[in-house]
Structure 1
Amino acid sequence: MNEFPIIPIVLAAVVLLVFLYFFPISLWITAIFSGVRVGLFQLVLMRVRKVPPSLIVNSLITATKAGLNITANDLETHYLAGGNVPTVIKALISADKANIPLDFKQATAIDLAGRDVFEAVTTSVNPKVINTPNVAAVAQDGIQLIAKARVTVRANISQLVGGAGEETILARVGEGIVTSIGSSISHKEVLENPDKISKLVLQKGLDAGTAFQILSIDIADVDIGENIGAKLQTDQASADLRVAEARAEERRAMAVAMEQENRAKTQEAKARVVEAEAEIPKAIAEAFRSGNLGIMDYYKMRNIQADTDMRDSIANPGGSSNTKPSPNV
């Protein structure tokens, strides 16, 4: 018996699969019955350019059924540029149904810029609410207020390319809240009329240059924080006290240094006195040797010194005389 020809069948199956891969006939037939004119050779070239034909054809069918005038070359070009073709088609259909002016070129530019064009159209139709973080500000009376706001925004399609995002909106709203609270004379004024903050912030045109249009700013909550004015005064008083203590310590140190200097001068003067007194016996001895002083003169001087010491002791009972006796020769 002859063996069953398996190899030719396998080769034929492989050739058929390769042929159907490069020639998606079923997809081409689907496009024709859907009213989309796409050539079979064009589908083959998509395979060669590594563009999924099913993605392009299905997106083109969806766009054609929605009444959009888009060609397969347009979708293929956007895919090769790194864009998200199905998202662009969904965004164009949603914008067309909502009467929002958005063409294919603008939609692809928004998509290639890294923004979700379908979400932008949805936000333009259905505005979303952005909650700001807690914003702390101080009124002119020194009381801190912590405010939280809800910002209702709508996407600005014309500013999506090159426009600032939500972070800029939040930063500008926070800055406006701080400015509004800071310009209030009293914190009670803000607590009584929190809508005053919203009005002042809306007047600043914070959505300029952004990808959103601010519809409203609502103050959700306002809480009282610390008494910043009293705290600053306390800190200033503590700082002044430390400065005064430092200056007093400086003056005390200068006084101590001056006292020590005066003591040194006193000791120096006493040393000179002692040195001078030490010269007296030498002078007396020299007077004896030179004959300028006799023995009787010396005794008279001693008697006068003794009388002086006695008078001092009588004048200051219990005290010591300031006059020192003359040293013996």
Structure 2
Amino acid sequence: MELTVILLTVVVVALLIVFFYYCPFFLWISARVSGVRISLMQLVLMRIRQVPASIIVRALIEAHKAGLNEVTRDDLEAHYLAGGNVERVVHALVSASKANIDLGFKMATAIDLAGRDVFQAVQMSVNPKVIDTPPVTAVAKDGIQLIAKARVTVRANIRQLVGGAGEDTVLARVGEGIVSSIGSSESHKQVLENPDSISKLVLRKGLDSGTAFEILSIDIADIDIGRNIGAALQIDQAQADKNIAQAKAEERRAMAIAREQEMKALAQEARAKVIEAECELPKAMAQAFLSGNLGIMDYYRMKNMEADTTMRQSLGNNPTATPEIRE
């Protein structure tokens, strides 16, 4: 008898556990008390579809209390089954409603499924976010390098959150605008005197186009002076010109050496021909002697004339010689 009672008790407890698991009775009572119209059978079907009924019911209660009548149970279930965050979407809708931001349920779910935090986006629309840019290096027209840091105040653009560019794109565009503004300045002193001119020029370019943010302001936080790029470039150019001039001078020197060697070769060739001609001279004189065209007295007169010419050349080349010797 006692065993039967124990078995009946275990069966009843098991049935009650299964009943309250598949039939969240207390959750249904909580929804009804809060004014949310949902049947007990719908909660049971949620269990069967493996949809957490507690999350859906809490989201419905929050939306109902905030006056968001467009949010329905089917929409929340569909969004959960699609992999979305139901609680975050409802929080965002409530925050947008209180802040008078035009945000519909479809837009909120689309933003959430796109991988963006829709609740954080709504908060950023109410409280703008400040983004610090990394140091941006630019060079003014006078060749002085400037290193600038800026603070960009942005607000989330709800309509551009789906498909819009992120913070990295905004920072890249702001950096590009700073470089362009500094590069168009005649002197780095102008930039240091009026740093707000950079902000005004950058803001006029509409850098937030196609992004998920709206740029409210760009403030230059700090500007430091870097290297003198213009002077360094001039030094490099002068060094390059010097190397070119040295190369051309070396080329001319090599050509002069080659010309000198060529002239020496021609002179040696000429001397060789003279020596060759001188070698032919005794033959010619011997032939003249044999043929009778040259006598012995003629030969002596020629030798005396050569000796006299040699002496006169020697005296002309030696100006220190005595007058007696000259005579």
1:199-230 per-residue CA deviation (whole Å, 9 max, x = no partner) reads 22222222222221121111111111222222
Distance verdict in 2 for CA 1:296–1:36, change over 3 Å: same
Distance verdict in 2 for CA 1:315–1:185, change over 3 Å: closer
**Hey, what does 2:324 align to over in structure 1?**
none
Give me the whole-angstrom Cα distance separating, in 2, the residues matched to 1:212 and 1:44.
Answer: 43
**1:316 offset after TM fit, Å?**
3.0
Structure 1 window deviating more from structure 2 (254-263 vs 116-125): it is 254-263
Give the secondary structure class of the aligned counterpart of 2:170: helix
**Hey, what does 1:94 align to over in structure 2?**
95
Give me the whole-angstrom Cα distance separating, in 1, the residues matched to 2:235 and 2:83.
Answer: 61
Give the secondary structure class of the aligned counterpart of 1:68: coil
Give me the whole-angstrom Cα distance separating, in 1, the residues matched to 2:230 and 2:316.
Answer: 70
Give the secondary structure class of the aligned counterpart of 2:198: helix
> Where does 1:147-166 land on structure 2 (aligned, <5 Å)?
147-166=148-167
Give the secondary structure class of the aligned counterpart of 1:88: helix
Give me the whole-angstrom Cα distance separating, in 2, the residues matched to 1:247 and 1:258.
Answer: 16
Q: Counterpart of 2:35 in structure 1: which amino acid? A: G
Q: How many residues align?
A: 319
Identity %, equivalent residues: 70
**1:164 offset after TM fit, Å?**
1.9
Give me the whole-angstrom Cα distance separating, in 2, the residues matched to 1:290 and 1:6.
Answer: 168
Q: Counterpart of 2:80 in structure 1: which amino acid? A: Y
1:223 aligns with 2:224: yes
Give the secondary structure class of the aligned counterpart of 2:38: coil
Give me the whole-angstrom Cα distance separating, in 2, the residues matched to 1:303 and 1:271.
Answer: 27
**1:103 offset after TM fit, Å?**
0.9
Give the secondary structure class of the aligned counterpart of 2:67: coil
Give the secondary structure class of the aligned counterpart of 1:248: helix
Give me the whole-angstrom Cα distance separating, in 2, the residues matched to 1:132 and 1:46.
Answer: 48
Give me the whole-angstrom Cα distance separating, in 2, the residues matched to 1:81 and 1:286.
Answer: 127
Alignment gaps of 5+ in structure 1: 320-329
Give me the whole-angstrom Cα distance separating, in 1, the residues matched to 2:58 and 2:4.
Answer: 42
**1:179 offset after TM fit, Å?**
2.3
Give me the whole-angstrom Cα distance separating, in 1, the residues matched to 2:280 and 2:87.
Answer: 120
Give the secondary structure class of the aligned counterpart of 1:86: helix
Q: Counterpart of 1:34 in structure 2: which amino acid? A: S
The RMSD of aligned alpha carbons is 3.0
Give the secondary structure class of the aligned counterpart of 1:74: helix
Structure 1 window deviating more from structure 2 (288-297 vs 196-205): it is 288-297
1:224-277 per-residue CA deviation (whole Å, 9 max, x = no partner) reads 122222222222222222222222122112112211221122222222222222
**Hey, what does 1:51 align to over in structure 2?**
51
**Hey, what does 1:324 align to over in structure 2?**
none
Q: Counterpart of 2:208 in structure 1: which amino acid? A: D
Distance verdict in 2 for CA 1:196–1:316, change over 3 Å: closer
Distance verdict in 2 for CA 1:27–1:298, change over 3 Å: same
**1:307 offset after TM fit, Å?**
3.1
Give me the whole-angstrom Cα distance separating, in 1, the residues matched to 2:119 and 2:141.
Answer: 46
**1:11 offset after TM fit, Å?**
8.0
1:100-123 per-residue CA deviation (whole Å, 9 max, x = no partner) reads 111110101111112111110010
Structure 1 window deviating more from structure 2 (31-40 vs 238-247): it is 31-40
**1:12 offset after TM fit, Å?**
7.8
> Where does 1:24-43 land on structure 2 (aligned, <5 Å)?
24-43=24-43
1:168 aligns with 2:174: no
Give me the whole-angstrom Cα distance separating, in 2, the residues matched to 1:256 and 1:6.
Answer: 123
TM normalised by structure 2 equals 0.85
Q: Counterpart of 2:191 in structure 1: which amino acid? A: V
Q: Counterpart of 2:192 in structure 1: which amino acid? A: L
Give me the whole-angstrom Cα distance separating, in 1, the residues matched to 2:16 and 2:215.
Answer: 59
Distance verdict in 2 for CA 1:17–1:249, change over 3 Å: farther
Give the secondary structure class of the aligned counterpart of 1:114: coil
TM normalised by structure 1 equals 0.84
1:79 aligns with 2:80: yes
**Hey, what does 1:66 align to over in structure 2?**
66
**1:154 offset after TM fit, Å?**
1.0
Give me the whole-angstrom Cα distance separating, in 1, the residues matched to 2:8 and 2:15.
Answer: 10
Alignment gaps of 5+ in structure 2: 321-327
1:188 aligns with 2:214: no
Give me the whole-angstrom Cα distance separating, in 2, the residues matched to 1:293 and 1:73.
Answer: 143
**Hey, what does 1:325 align to over in structure 2?**
none
Give me the whole-angstrom Cα distance separating, in 1, the residues matched to 2:285 and 2:9.
Answer: 152
Q: Counterpart of 1:63 in structure 2: which amino acid? A: A
